[in-house]
Structure 1
Amino acid sequence: MGLTVMTYNIKNGGRGGRLDAIARIIKEQRPDVLALQELQHHHRHGGRLIRLLAEATGARAFLSRSRLGGQPVAVLVSEPATVISARHLRRPFHHAAGEVTVRTDAGPLTVIGTHLYPFSGARRLWEARWLASRADSRRMVLLMGDLNSLDPWTDHTERIRALPAHHRSRHLRSGGEVDTRAVRALADAGFVDLYRRAGTTGPDHTVPTTHGNGGEFSRMRLDYILGTEPVARLVRSCRVVRGGDTESASDHYPVVAELDLSVTS
């Protein structure tokens, strides 16, 4: 047995009849812990939409709302995992961040789900630095979500060139340098990119999907599963899920990692 974790930006709450496809994708991957982003309207009417999605996928949902008009995020935990604690991270994120700790056979695992600022690298770095403070080399901590940031280990020249001109400023600093500061700040704090640690090969982009209308993207990896070293040592695999419903259910592909852990009740 292992622990399956997944992150997925479902684009504007799954509007337009996409929630059924999103639920199918989640059920196919069977994550023990799932981080969701862009949960537009899921906090309304007593949280009806996130409750329906949680029920459809057999999970408990812990929703975190934005204080600044952005979209909520959530961490969902499936049975038989025992949730030790859950809380909203009370920082002025444009979107939001939430933290859930579950019991495993190797001790508590803290999972942070978040969605960083899309439009400004400086603001994104600001938010990343708040999250970097959650890195603790003595603890198992996962950070999952849409970080809206390119990584500092890759040559992104062609990806930037392929972007529509009016979207390039999201990923460039004032001098024209590619802005990778958010992921770099998290890495410097001790968060390890599980995709790289697992040695995954092949296409790595998480946006855009084939039919998701992601016109602001150009085959970029913006969605990450990061972990402190005690987690990174346990990664078996990490992959971008493609094909089937994922090509149209969102403009982002989900990312899934398998860890050499088991949840306990």
Structure 2
Amino acid sequence: MQITVMSWNIQHGGKDGRWIGQARIINEVNPDFLLLQECSDWPERDARQVAQAEADTGLRIMVGRSRTKGYTAVGWRPEKARWMGCDSNMYALTNGYTGVWFEIPHLPAPLMVVSAHLSCYSAVQANMEIQTILARTHKPQHLGLLGGDLNHVPLGDEEIDWSSVQPYNRSSRCLLPAPEGPPVWRGNPIVAQTLRAADMTDVAAHVADSRGDHSLRAPTAIHGRIRVDQIHVTGALRPAILDYWVIADQDVSDHHPIVARFDLAKIDESKLAKYR
């Protein structure tokens, strides 16, 4: 009943030979579910790319739709979970998303697993995108998890020195300062607030706070300086959280992989209900 979930922005589809190193790291983690972002051009570049990724990792992999060709993907271990259906929307979101429903032995409801990559250009736009994704994550019975490059500040992390960040990143990720006086920059928490309003739990923050280990809130993007890569779960999965860690010692992407572990025997069945 324990599962390992790994999420990783692989930077432009793991081109230039980087996929070999990425596959090695994935296999070292041996996840039951793999959430990938920036699978750039995977369907167009070579029809064999997904088959190669499946052969390299031992996972089945579904690539969602994306109008920007910045594809997301969900991989799963077929001996752990049975594919039931999928949901993907390339129009409502900048990069689309990939959602897959799974039947897992002994679980009282299907598990929805979503890989997402929100807009980096606007916290307001990213908030509209996460609202769309949250409606899918809770279907059909509020047992779901989502992970990916959410691109905006989580709740509770320390405020960074925004003066050292590129101006276009400040304008997209911060609340606008007052027009008079010197600018005071603060991260815009709207995406994180929407996640919390939807009864979602930030796994990294949950584990960090329960252990008193602030290092788990460290930035995950090498250049972005904030913890953009996140895994969130619905209320029914919150008691199942066991562990979370970051793989920072890697040089094959500009994002660090993040990993979470869950004990599905501990789900809160009182939180399960028919989605409306």
Query: What's the TM-score bracket when you normalise by the shorter of the two chains?
Result: 0.7 to 0.9
Q: Which of 209, 223, 227 in structure 1 is aligned with 2:233?
A: 227
SS at match of 1:182: helix
Residues 83 and 103, structure 1, Cα contact 8 Å, conserved in 2? yes
Residues 128 and 183, structure 1, Cα contact 8 Å, conserved in 2? no
Where does residue 7 of structure 2 map in the other structure?
Answer: 7
Q: Kindly name which structure, 1 or 2, has the bigger radius of gyration based on alpha carbons.
A: 2
Where does residue 54 of structure 2 map in the other structure?
Answer: 54
C-alpha distance in 2 between matches for 1:86 and 1:172: 34
Structure 1 residue 145, shift from structure 2 partner: 0.6
C-alpha distance in 1 between matches for 2:193 and 2:42: 31
Please list, as runs of the form range in 1=range in 2, the aligned pairs for 1:32-71 lying within 5 A after superposition.
Answer: 32-44=32-44, 47-67=47-67, 69-71=68-70
Per-residue displacement from partner, 1:152-173 (whole Å, max 9, x unpaired)? 2223143x23323343222112
SS at match of 1:53: helix
C-alpha distance in 2 between matches for 1:113 and 1:177: 27
Instruction: Give the alignment's TM-score, normalised by structure 1.
Output: 0.87
Residues 152 and 188, structure 2, Cα contact 8 Å, conserved in 1? yes
C-alpha distance in 1 between matches for 2:70 and 2:28: 25
Higher mean Cα deviation, 194-203 or 233-242?
194-203
Where does residue 217 of structure 2 map in the other structure?
Answer: 204
Where does residue 123 of structure 1 map in the other structure?
Answer: 125
Indicate the structure with greater helix content: 2
Where does residue 111 of structure 1 map in the other structure?
Answer: 113
SS at match of 2:136: coil
Residues 32 and 78, structure 1, Cα contact 8 Å, conserved in 2? yes
Structure 1 residue 177, shift from structure 2 partner: 3.8
Where does residue 186 of structure 1 map in the other structure?
Answer: 195
Moved over 6 A (4+): none
1:155 maps onto 2:129 in alignment = no
Gap regions ≥5 residues in structure 1: none
Structure 2 letter corresponding to 1:6: M
Per-residue displacement from partner, 1:66-117 (whole Å, max 9, x unpaired)? 12x2401000011302112223135421101111112222232110111000
Structure 1 residue 48, shift from structure 2 partner: 2.1
Residues 41 and 69, structure 2, Cα contact 8 Å, conserved in 1? no
Instruction: Give the alignment's TM-score, normalised by structure 2.
Output: 0.84
Residues 117 and 150, structure 2, Cα contact 8 Å, conserved in 1? yes
Residues 205 and 216, structure 2, Cα contact 8 Å, conserved in 1? no
Residues 131 and 186, structure 1, Cα contact 8 Å, conserved in 2? no
Identity of aligned residues (%): 26
Gap regions ≥5 residues in structure 2: 178-184, 266-276
- Larger relative CO (CA 8 A, sep 6+): 1 or 2? 1
* Equivalent residues, number: 250
Where does residue 24 of structure 1 map in the other structure?
Answer: 24
C-alpha distance in 2 between matches for 1:204 and 1:151: 9
C-alpha distance in 2 between matches for 1:47 and 1:227: 33
C-alpha distance in 1 between matches for 2:137 and 2:199: 6
Q: 1:56 to 1:103 in 2, by over 3 A?
A: same
Residues 206 and 240, structure 1, Cα contact 8 Å, conserved in 2? no
Higher mean Cα deviation, 81-90 or 30-39?
81-90
Per-residue displacement from partner, 1:226-246 (whole Å, max 9, x unpaired)? 000111110100111222xx2
